[in-house]
Amino acid sequence: MGRTIPSANRFLVHEEKAFNQFRRALRRGDQLALDDLFAAARKHAAEASYASHALPFEIALLSMLLEEHKEIMQLRRKIEELIQ
């Protein structure tokens, strides 16, 4: 029996290709930011299999948001260190 749900990696590759025209319409800096967001989503592709109740794109967005929030938390800690 084959898999009925594509792997998270395969889904992310497909979605990144699907957004290619959108990406090309963006300014260069925004293109790089979008590339970073998709890279952030790929960091959590293995964990995505544990969220099978969610839609694959929801998982990708949550992964992107998670990486962005981690960066914000790290910057906050650095700011707090500089203030003290």
Which residue intervals of 43-55 are DSSP H helices?
none
Q: Could you give the dihedral angle defined by the CA atoms of residues 49, 62, 36 and 12, in that order, rounded to the nearest 10 degrees?
A: 40
Identify the pLDDT of residue 8: 80
Identify the pLDDT of residue 48: 86
Identify the pLDDT of residue 4: 62
Q: How far is it, in rounded angstroms, from Cα 65 to Cα 54?
A: 15
Percent of the residues in the chain that have a pLDDT greater than 90, as a whole number: 69
Residue 5's CB is within 10 A of a number of other CB atoms, namely 10
pTM: 0.82
